[in-house]
Structure 1
Amino acid sequence: MTKVAITTLREVDAVLFLVDAKEGRGRGDDFIMERLKNIDTPIFLVINKIDEVHPDELFKIIDNYRHHIDFTEIVPISALHGNNVST
C-alpha cells in the first residue's frame, strides 16, 4: 500500500478486506493486516471463492485470519455460485 492508501483508511466508513479462499494467507495479507490493526474503522473480512475449498477447510481459513484482527464481521462468499451475494 502506498502512504496515500494507508492515510485514506482512516477516512472511510468501512474497510472490506477481500481474500481468496483457495490461495490462502500470504505475506501480502500479513502486510495489510498489520496496517489495519492500527485503525478504528470497522473491518470486514470477505473470503471469496469458497466454492473452491472443502467446507471443513473454510473454518481453518477463517480461524487463520480472525486470530490476527478483531474483524467486525467475516463474510464467506462465492461470486460464481451466488453464496452470500445478492443477485
Structure 2
Amino acid sequence: VKASRLSDARGVMLVLPNRDVWTFEALDDKVELEDSVFLAGNDGPRRTAQIVIRQESRHAASIRWSFVRSTTSASATTARRNARREPELPL
C-alpha cells in the first residue's frame, strides 16, 4: 500500500496494489504519516508507516474521522489532487 499525506494535513490517501484508492481523514485534527515497524508478519519485523492523529487532548473529548473507499481510479484521484496542487503519489 502506498500512502501519501494530503496537503491540507487533514488526511492520507492510500493506494492499494490493485489501484483501489482509500482516503483517511480527520475532520478537526492534523494527520501525519510516521515511520513505524510491523512486528506481526511471518517474515519478521519490517518497516512500515502509521497514520497518526495530533490533537490537544485537554481540549477535545473525541476524534472525528472517516475512512472512505474512492469510487474513482488511482489515476483519476491523482489527477484531481494535482488539479488542487496535491503532490503526485508515486506508483
Structure 2 length as normaliser, TM-score?
0.24
Name the larger-Rg structure.
2
Q: Which structure is higher in helix share?
A: 1
Structure 1 length as normaliser, TM-score?
0.24
